[in-house]
Amino acid sequence: MRCVIGIDLGSTTTKAVMLDESGAMLGRGITNSRSNYEVACAVARIEAHTAARFDMLARRLAGDAVALAWLGPLRETFKLELYFGELADLREAIDRHLSESTRADAASVQRAAHTVLEAMRESAPALFVEGGPRKSDFFRDIAGAAFVAEAERLCKGNDVAFEPLVAQYDRAILEVETRMRPRDTRALLHRAVARLSVDVPGVRERLAASVEAATDEPIEEIVVVGTGYGRQTLPFPKEAVRSEILCHGRGAHRVFPGTRTVLDIGGQDTKAIQVDDHGVVTSFQMNDRCAAGCGRYLGYIADELNLGLHELGPLALQAKKVLKVNSTCTVFAGAELRERLALGQRREDILAGLHRAIMLRAMSLLARSGGVRSEFTFTGGVCNNAMATKVLRELVDENYGKDITLNIHPDSIYMGALGGAMFALDDLRDARVPPLPAFIRDSRSEVSA
């Protein structure tokens, strides 16, 4: 199967979208943007390949309702197998660092780390179930939370020091995140099938046979286009890089063909984009280099409150009133937040004010780009923040009327990558085939069936 891929390197996450030659979606992948951009792009691409294999598997099982019902649990056990592999990498990195250490307590820290990692492994299956309690699919997030929790449990009432133990994790995770691990999707799927608690005769065998069939067909990447906040540093040939403005506009128009205005709020910047009836950008405005009003700002606030980023929106929705926030500058936000909390103001009310301040900045950008026209599509990671979308709807109603159609899609974070894939498809159809990035040419085995 021939395909094209769009990769969107953002400041927080890196996304990949794979399309076939007809433009149909084959798979999508996402990972956290780490210090090594080439690895981030490679991992997102591998995740898109994995998603494509699961889509092929679903089609193979379409006529077998009993086996198909196990596809969801199979996804989770597959992720569990990946997690176990990354835990092994983490242990190896910690062991190597401590073997090279001159610390007098290196041996005791290593024993403690092994105890923590073993506890993490034992508790992992409970995280990887449908509707399970994990709050992220990124290894850094899952492992970080679990390591700290188990370390606190181990160190409480013992003579094991908490700080040196967690310091080993902090050092090792940077190495694990910047290392490419070959992925044998077929072998992982078979291990995941074996792990399922299937109690219906014949189902496990049918799943295994479908895995073989779904991973037999080769996937050949012909054109890969890169875009995003970090596009200038992408490990791509220049002719394979596109503007994120053009990609977000085109991706939003593909999902919602009536789109005329796009607001994209990502981790590091905000973009207000106007497009015509073909998805071609006619004007745009971006915020300056300051991260105020973007996902990075919300992340900073979450850190100040010791909350997960995903918790901010639901907490802000519990506000009894919306407090006016004086500054949306990331530098000063922490000080103002602490001052307001010290005055006894409810954090829910403060957060409501922060969200409104952020969206007011976005509305200013929209006004400068040409205003809001129906349909209006909201994209980017902040689109998944329920309070942000609520405030945006209110502000659009106040300033442009309630007849504006506001499109909010749960997968809007992929719009830029989707637009990139569509430009890649144009190149393929027009016989403009730029060289593939080196990390793809040199690593075909990393996405082997």
DSSP string computed for 145-211: HHHHHHHHHHHTTSS--HHHHHHHHHHHHHHHHTS-----HHHHHHHHHHHS---STTHHHHHHHHH
Which structure tokens are listed for 26? 């084959």
Closest listed residue to residue 423, CA positions, set 162, 297, 240, 216: 240
d(CA 147, CA 11): 25
Domain 3-70+215-244+418-447 sits in which CATH superfamily?
ATPase, nucleotide binding domain (3.30.420.40)
d(CA 217, CA 20): 13
**β-pairing, 376-379 with 406-408?**
parallel
pLDDT band at 89 (very low <50, low <70, confident <90, very high): very high
CB 29 within 8 A of CB 44: yes
Closest listed residue to residue 358, CA positions, set 333, 379, 335, 339: 333
User: Angle, to 10 degrees, between the axis of helix 185-195 and the axis of helix 37-60?
Assistant: 60
Which has more pLDDT, 443 or 213? 213
Q: Quote the Cα angle for 12-374-268, to 5°.
A: 15
CB atoms within 10 A of CB 398: 10
Question: Which range among 126-135, 222-231, 440-449 shows the weakest confidence by mean pLDDT?
Answer: 440-449
Distance linking the first and last C-alpha atoms of the chain:
13
CB 282 within 8 A of CB 379: no
- Say what the pLDDT of residue 445 is: 46
Q: Quote the Cα angle for 125-40-313, to 5°.
A: 65
d(CA 268, CA 12): 8
> Tell me: the pLDDT tens digits for 20-58?
999 999 999 999 888 888 899 999 999 999 999 999 999
Residue whose structure tokens are 């890969």: 224
Q: DSSP string covering 18-54, please?
A: EEETTS-EEEEEEEE--S-HHHHHHHHHHHHHHHHHH
Closest listed residue to residue 228, CA positions, set 52, 384, 379, 388: 379
Helix (H, G, I), strand (E, B) or coil at 66: helix
Which has more pLDDT, 124 or 443? 124
d(CA 305, CA 316): 13
Question: Which range among 120-134, 200-214, 432-446 shows the weakest confidence by mean pLDDT?
Answer: 432-446
Helix, strand, coil percent content, the chain, rounded in steps of 5: 55, 15, 30
The Cα-based distances of 440 to 199, 218, 443 in angstroms read 41, 15, 5
Give the neighbor-by-neighbor strand order of the sheet with 406-408. Answer: 281-286, 270-275, 261-265, 376-379, 406-408
Question: Which range among 113-117, 157-161, 251-255, 412-416 shows the weakest confidence by mean pLDDT?
Answer: 157-161
Residue ranges of domains in the chain: 3-70+215-244+418-447, 72-177
- Say what the pLDDT of residue 328 is: 59
Segments of 199-327 assigned E as strands: 220-227, 261-265, 270-275, 281-286
Residue whose structure tokens are 């599509």: 377
d(CA 192, CA 416): 32
> Tell me: the pLDDT tens digits for 326-378?
665 655 667 778 888 888 889 999 889 888 988 988 999 999 999 999 899 99
Segments of 301-431 assigned E as strands: 376-379, 406-408
Overall average pLDDT of the 245-271 stretch: 92
> Tell me: the pLDDT tens digits for 293-333?
577 778 788 888 888 777 889 999 999 998 887 665 655 66
